[in-house]
Structure 1
């Protein structure tokens, strides 16, 4: 039994075709109405000289909820204090020496940390590239928002719910129990707070940066954004008090956000299916992602090209994309390339991939090859 307010396109299309039996619950179980959603255009806020993280309307709504002894959930799809550290003298960004990503500043312990391999260093006083002293924190994470909430809102008691605050044993449940006991009136979190939470006293949900997940180079970016925003919106108004939602965006006319505003999954499904059909992506085809990884960058490049040539020769009628660098090209000192195959008939594919995998994954080989069928994430 699969159950979701925001099913994947693959699952819903199978329901439409009769492959799955499809049953719809069009109303909440308690018959309470879905929350009203308002899209806030942050470009207008900037034109009006408001450079804050919070729009004027969201500030007023948060304070009104706190004044009425109601609770608020705020979604920020990041963690840490700032996204990265940039030197204003030379323009360099401080990166992880083991992964192809920037280090994130965490204010609690005054350290820069990699969110992929957990490498960490003390926050430097001078730039490691040019020895300049003009280091600037760029971007906004949950720690920084927590600080601003406690500073700018009267009576704010913030519970921050992210990977950093839930590391301890039973950390998740302890924080949620505190919020349920009203020891906090603002629950601030990353996407971990989007699903499953049921607090009757939450009457307002705010989303601070709706556009971030729309801009990820992944064909599922629209789907993931719709699911995240629709699910987190559903945390508001689950009790007798009516709920409201505000979503801050620089692109309020985007069809994904318009569908979220109207709680309209079917319109989103129809529009996204049209795009998937044109681009030939699931559910119209299946995908297999081939990850080629190793410590020697030159060897990884050579093997990726060899694998591409082999696949093209063996699978002439299939679409083979790549090789291309993974989204995170280097992770824990391992270089990573990807090849993507679009297919409809797996009978021809399995023996080819099995032969390739056996050849490259022999003991002592300098590369490792991993095949992932219908991958959901491709970092």
Structure 2
């Protein structure tokens, strides 16, 4: 017998050896998903290696149960990529693998209940009803039983357990696809086109009376049916491909019976075929042609073209060395272009080069809200070659889009960070638009950054990676300055359009003038001017909700989340207090819960409050809010943006969702309500994130022929990130920020990682944090001593990783758990990963308790 190593989606970083039954031996390749017995049930896993022999005793080896697919989900390239992720981000290979495939493609567990033969009769009324239902229906899932019984799953489960214990029913766990292929009825022409054309002419003659029997007049049912038949055949002939019968009957406003008549006459066949659920099918998308590039765009494109047409780009992994990089590494480009400089056109012309070489492209965008808009641009240029992948799609849509990509039916993939794992054939280029965005960083295990994963995938596929941004991350720009990336610059907007004028409104001065509203005089006047000219406005505030805290003016009581160390945010629409960290909700109080005073006041500002103030100040304006609360429904992002594009909204109010990549020609004013919200966070990236947000949102103004204006309201106008944003001066900001980072040895002059401990017992967490510190320091010292004794340089030296902490985290309690954290700093990210890998492999006794969790984050974008 031969064997296979399988990785399961478990936190333990281990693979498990299974026997391969003879009937699976020929089809089971590395990268294939299988079901195998594990811990008393069957578990979905991935074959990562085939073995001819094993040291394990034959008696303890179990066999693989089922192979779930004929074609492996994971190519050699994706196996290598996920293995690297597991090592770099310190997680299990299984978790890295399963984050790379959409849930819609995987199986889901289903618990089936079945009545056992010769089962005794139960006594209870509900138990008798359950048994009678199973006797009548046969096998049912727990969810089906709960619905039939009219009770909740939680109430049903213990009753089934009792019946199991009495030997009345069995409960088996099965696996079924979360989504599957959808079949639909399609019509196909059954005769050559010449015969169809002849029949169309005959039917038209019958419809207009030229071929009517004597005495028959046009307009009766027979003539109408003939006209419809001709129209149906014409649609099919023009399409040149089968059409879904539902779409066809809708187009010609007819019924299926007319299609059946044509089928009986031998002109078409009606069959069942796979239907592709296309998330863009309802959107009319205009075809576009390549635009003329200006000189800066041409220089950038030529550099890309030289790589894309060379023999070194687009290589593949060596199949004999599964985790080795390709023979020659292709470069990473940083396309630094101001907002509106035409980066997207450079992307698309580079994509044309890639496609002409028979290769594929993955293009990442930072927000789901941007995916439909980006997809529309690419579909307009490349048609049905484009596939869309993001979490707002239905399971069926994701299933179909993923299989289109894997089958090679789509060779351009657009999506947010998870699209970096798309199973494209012959990857030829990766694009990461708005590469600075922290949306590319995952906040669940594995905590990967899509930009860095894309760079690694480009290395494995030996294809170029393009990072695009008006405000590149400091790490990326530093690498470009040092020659690790190739820097491409687009310093001006296309068509010689001006950058918007940026005005700084000092809110301290406004307060002295007696202006206590959220609008400075200049912002209020500018909004009125734009409304009069029927131009559009974007107002930005990176904080959702209505009021950030609720306060009693009598005793000082603040409504706080009982689970977290933060105040609750008041949401006006739902009239509830909400915790934005754990999701806890509760109603507001008319009086203070502590002293009973009615002097309750709402302080702080969120997008809901801005919306209210805008409606009061400008009652004639059409206003819409665009944030996480207003876009919970499917396609809500797209619907709001389309309405705005059609100029049916005058003022769009939003969070950072409005700051990234949106392009609306009629927007001539952007107002930043409060520029300081992120500037004073206890995070070394606070200035960078503030500058980036301000510059990006400012770039939404004046992107076409109309001149734009930006007004930034702030209490800190002298801060260098505010003044740099006013001047559109990325290089000036970079110079000051990189100097400050260098003085403190923060990235890009080092790598950092965070280690967070959390649990419900505050004292236990504090003690565990100090035990972890001692454990890590001991290991570092041992490594240094070993290296010195061997008179060689060790992988990790005692001075190579600096441990800062432990200390309570800035958000010291979230979801009822206390939090202590460490910051680890080193010139080598591998050193940090190795140190934390040691912690996961050999944890100190203090954190072996299930009551303590630890969270590892390599290259975090936030240290809160």
Residue 106 of structure 1 is matched in structure 2 by 571
Residue 336 of structure 1 is matched in structure 2 by 819
Decide which moves more: 362-371 or 158-167. 362-371
Alignment equivalent of 2:607, drawn from 116, 120, 142: 142
Q: Equivalents in 1 of 2:504, 2:832: separation in Å?
A: 46
- Call closer, same or farther: CA 1:341–1:158 in 2, change over 3 Å: same
Residue 14 of structure 1 is matched in structure 2 by 479
- Call closer, same or farther: CA 1:347–1:328 in 2, change over 3 Å: closer
Aligned length: 379
- Call closer, same or farther: CA 1:262–1:301 in 2, change over 3 Å: same
Residue 371 of structure 1 is matched in structure 2 by 856
Q: Equivalents in 2 of 1:345, 1:247: separation in Å?
A: 39
Residue 525 of structure 2 is matched in structure 1 by 60
Residue 322 of structure 2 is matched in structure 1 by none
The structure number with the bigger radius of gyration is: 2
Q: After TM superposition, give the deviation of residue 86 of structure 1 in Å.
A: 0.5
1:149-228 matches, within 5 Å, as 149-228=614-693
8 Å CA contact 1:85–1:138 kept in 2: the answer is yes
Q: Equivalents in 1 of 2:658, 2:842: separation in Å?
A: 44
SS for the counterpart of 1:2 is: strand
8 Å CA contact 2:752–2:829 kept in 1: the answer is no
Q: Which has the higher contact order (CA 8 A, sep 6+)?
A: 1
Q: After TM superposition, give the deviation of residue 251 of structure 1 in Å.
A: 1.5
Q: After TM superposition, give the deviation of residue 363 of structure 1 in Å.
A: 7.1
SS for the counterpart of 1:54 is: coil
- Call closer, same or farther: CA 1:129–1:360 in 2, change over 3 Å: farther
Residue 588 of structure 2 is matched in structure 1 by 123
- Call closer, same or farther: CA 1:198–1:347 in 2, change over 3 Å: closer
Q: After TM superposition, give the deviation of residue 129 of structure 1 in Å.
A: 2.2
8 Å CA contact 1:111–1:120 kept in 2: the answer is yes
- Does residue 345 in structure 1 map to residue 810 in structure 2? no
1:273-312 matches, within 5 Å, as 273-312=738-777
Q: After TM superposition, give the deviation of residue 313 of structure 1 in Å.
A: 3.1
- Does residue 40 in structure 1 map to residue 505 in structure 2? yes
- Call closer, same or farther: CA 1:47–1:301 in 2, change over 3 Å: same
SS for the counterpart of 1:27 is: coil
Residue 354 of structure 1 is matched in structure 2 by 837
Q: Equivalents in 2 of 1:42, 1:348: separation in Å?
A: 46
Q: TM-score, normalised by structure 2?
A: 0.43
Alignment equivalent of 1:325, drawn from 808, 812, 830: 808
8 Å CA contact 2:702–2:708 kept in 1: the answer is yes
Q: After TM superposition, give the deviation of residue 257 of structure 1 in Å.
A: 1.0
Q: Deviations over 1:184-229 (max 9, x none)?
A: 1000011111011111000000101011111111000010001000
8 Å CA contact 1:360–1:367 kept in 2: the answer is no
Q: After TM superposition, give the deviation of residue 319 of structure 1 in Å.
A: 2.2
Q: Equivalents in 2 of 1:363, 1:300: separation in Å?
A: 12
Name the Cα RMSD after superposition. 1.5
Alignment equivalent of 1:4, drawn from 465, 469, 472: 469
Q: After TM superposition, give the deviation of residue 331 of structure 1 in Å.
A: 1.2
Residue 257 of structure 1 is matched in structure 2 by 722
Gaps of 5+ in 2: 1-465, 781-797
Q: Equivalents in 2 of 1:11, 1:85: separation in Å?
A: 41
- Call closer, same or farther: CA 1:62–1:295 in 2, change over 3 Å: same
Q: Equivalents in 2 of 1:180, 1:351: separation in Å?
A: 50
Q: Equivalents in 1 of 2:695, 2:829: separation in Å?
A: 34
8 Å CA contact 2:753–2:832 kept in 1: the answer is no
Higher helix proportion: 2
8 Å CA contact 2:626–2:640 kept in 1: the answer is yes
Q: Equivalents in 1 of 2:659, 2:822: separation in Å?
A: 32
8 Å CA contact 1:191–1:228 kept in 2: the answer is yes
Residue 69 of structure 1 is matched in structure 2 by 534
Q: After TM superposition, give the deviation of residue 81 of structure 1 in Å.
A: 1.0
Q: Equivalents in 1 of 2:625, 2:578: separation in Å?
A: 18
Decide which moves more: 265-274 or 136-145. 136-145
Q: Equivalents in 2 of 1:345, 1:215: separation in Å?
A: 29
Q: TM-score, normalised by structure 1?
A: 0.96
